[in-house]
Amino acid sequence: MLPTQIMESGGVLNSRLSETNFSQGRFQFRLLLDGNLVLNTRDMATNFPYAAYYISDTKSDPPRILPSPPGPETKKNQGALILAGSVLLGSSVFINFVLIGAVCLGFFLIYHEKSIESHHGNHSAVETNLRCFTYEELVEATNGFKEELGSGAFGIVYKGAIQMGSRVVVAVKKLDRVVQEKEKEFKTEVNVIGQTHHKNLVRLLGFCDEGQHRMLEYEFMSNGTLASFLFGEKKPSWNQRTQIALGIARGLVYLHEECSTQIIHCDIKPQNILLDDYYNARISDFGVRPILLPLEGQEGMLLQSGSTAIQSLQKVDVYSYGMLLLEIISCRKSIGYLELGEEDREILTYWACDCFQNGKLDTLVENDMEALNEWKRLERFLMVAIWCIQEDLSLRPTMRKVTQMLEGVVEVDVPPWPSQFSFTS
């Protein structure tokens, strides 16, 4: 058997007689199916080929068929299978991540919603930074509601001091005539008021909603009300008065058009305008009264954007602003007690329109030289006020246009005479 010869299972090799004679020789070499190698002679007396001179006695397993080397098509199929398996495995991992993320998100949303509901139920001002005070905290803050700052038709205001990082002076409004079934509306409006932020609005700092006790805590305005400022012994300067008028107009524009929930004040008057340390005007008492006085009109209404009643109700604020502007110009109350011989001035609107018609602005401002030195501005402010108090709602401008006219951005036409007025001359 040559070194390069390969013998398969069941194969037979015979020896040759000599180097030159290739006839079958005496010996025969076999590879049996069970793996044994057998050497035997062909001419033994028994003539049984397996009576061997030698047997390897190999204890091998049954013969295995070795796989043939893969061809090009097989390699291609294997590559496709590997790619498909990889895609499926990757997709499975991605889907698992998505499912886990969805489950986690679901748990988070459920927990978050419950948390909001719980917090809303306890504090009622979830969407704002308002602080919820207990009744005892406010009793202590006001020293037993000792110092009264003022009172109105729906509550009394007390001076107090609370700890908010540092000691802060506040005005605590103790609300009365609270209707219990309106608790939800109270919480809603506290949330809405707490979200208003404008330099010409009084800022709400906190609230109390404990049993029968409902109170609102505002920042304290050191210079009191516009009423006390206008109608005091000393007349404020013309420049101060014009800046106050502009500030109030800008605050109303914010309430009507710029805050998230439109607010109609419906009670604009000098008593509801406060002055801060620098005599900047701050509108107060917006958005509160319908909670407390549901049967007494529409004061302080909160309206959703798109309501058909909004424009008409905004014109109520415009009228009130026109009346207030006349008071700011003249430093006189709209209706009040006058001395003998001044009966023609008893109703401010009549008198102001009469002065404008006859060109007697000096009489209206009682010879205030600072105002008379700005005659054009004085005339412009007076015409704006007359536009605001027109009987026909459609003739009254919006508060945005009012602000633009006061600032001189928009030209002011001569207003028509309000039809309900009768003039003295």
Catalytic residues: 267
Contacts (Cβ under 8 Å, ≥6 apart) of 416: 390, 395
> What are residue 62's phi and psi, to 5 degrees?
-55, 145
Residue whose token pair is 């009469």: 354
| Ligand-binding site membership of 174 (annotated) | yes
> In this structure, which amino acid lies at residue 38?
V
Please tell me the number of Cα atoms within 13 Å of 27 on its side-chain side. Answer: 10
The neighbour count for residue 324, using CB atoms within 10 Å, is: 24
The neighbour count for residue 378, using CB atoms within 10 Å, is: 21
Per the annotation, binding residues for ATP are 174
List, as residue ranges, the binding site: 174
